[in-house]
A = this chain, B = another copy of it.
Amino acid sequence: MKALGIMPQLDLFVVDIRQLRYFVGVVEAGSFTKAAATLNVAQSALSLHVRQLEEGFGTQLLVRDRTGVSVTASGDKLLERARIILKEIQLTEAELTNSVAAPSGEVTIGIPSGAARVLSGPLLESVRSELPRISLKMIEGMTGPLEEWMAAGRFNLAVLYRTAESVGQMTVLAREEFCLVVPPGEPPFEDSIPLADLHAFPLAVPMRNNNVRRSVADVVAQHGCVLDVRFEVDSLSTIINMVMEGKAYSILTPSAIQKEASHGQVRTVKIIDPVITRSVVLAVNPKDERSPAVSAVRKLIPKVVKTLIEGKHWSATVPDRV
């Protein structure tokens, strides 16, 4: 066994929690084989660890025979001591985690207007019901400014968008596909439209620095296509109103127009050849990672998202967890 740092003397034996757990488990089961089944560990691993304890202490702890094991006098001493230690550890874990069972305080979250349209209500409700001592401050905005403010540490958490496969340390909440948002009663009437045909529709889209705009523009450029951008507006609700009033089309993700689409106020037509996707991700301010309140909200958000998607309140896909 390698020197463990705190006691650098070579070959010094230091008992380990795992070994104690295995030892107690074996004694209580009465055999390595039964303990293996109970503890869901290979019998050979138990055999090895108990043997390491015996070698470390320089004394035999178990008597082995064909019917199993029984403890020696030394083994009884260790059993008693091990139970005390394991109990202490259990109490420690309970005490330390208990202090985060009811986290409290203020948590700030930045959220893009699009995602906010499906997520802000349910999230606020969930936090209120499940984390009653947490005050969630939600700041909605366009993604450009949100990225900057998050980078500046203005929020504890932020919902952001990413098109790259790699999202680093962030959690992927959902994947969305961009679609053509169509005024009611207007063509096209098919379920999908090729990217190359989008030029036929006059578009109201966000400003050039907008994440949505850049995502789509990149793909369009890559495919040698063009778009008929008539209006550049950094106001999602304005864009949606224009579509509802038949003044323009737009290219958005389902979260942005989930409600209007479900009420028939706009229609969505899938864009294909290629499908344009992006991820909705959750970023955490590294400084706040270990805050119990932030941690709790951070764990709650994916659940809210999953519930929305599975309840067909958001047309997106939940990413696979590996």
The residues of A with any CB-CB pair to B shorter than 8 Å are 3-6, 8, 13-18, 21-22, 25, 39-41, 45, 54-55, 57-60, 73-74, 77-78, 81-82, 84-85, 88-89, 91-93, 95-97, 99-100, 289-292, 295
Contact = CB atoms under 8 A, between A and B. Distances in A.
A58 B16 contact: no
A290 B100 contact: no
B6 A39 contact: yes
17 contacts: A6-B18, A6-B22, A14-B93, A15-B17, A15-B92, A16-B17, A55-B289, A58-B97, A58-B295, A59-B290, A73-B99, A74-B99, A77-B95, A77-B99, A78-B92, A81-B92, A85-B88
Contact of A99 (B54, B55, B59, B292): B59
Contacts of A78: 92, 96
A57 B25 CA distance: 25
Contacts of A41: 5-6
B291 A60 contact: yes
A75 to B, nearest CB: 9
A21 B39 contact: no
A39 B5 contact: yes
Given A14-B17, A100-B57, A290-B54, A84 B88 contact: yes
A288 B5 CA distance: 32
Given A74-B99, A85-B88, A92-B85, A21 B40 contact: no
A17 B85 CA distance: 11
A26 to B, nearest CB: 11
Nearest to A82: B92
A99 B22 CA distance: 22
A89 B95 CA distance: 20
Contacts of A74: 96, 99
Contacts of A8: 39-40
A17 B58 CA distance: 21
Contact of A40 (B5, B55, B73, B99): B5
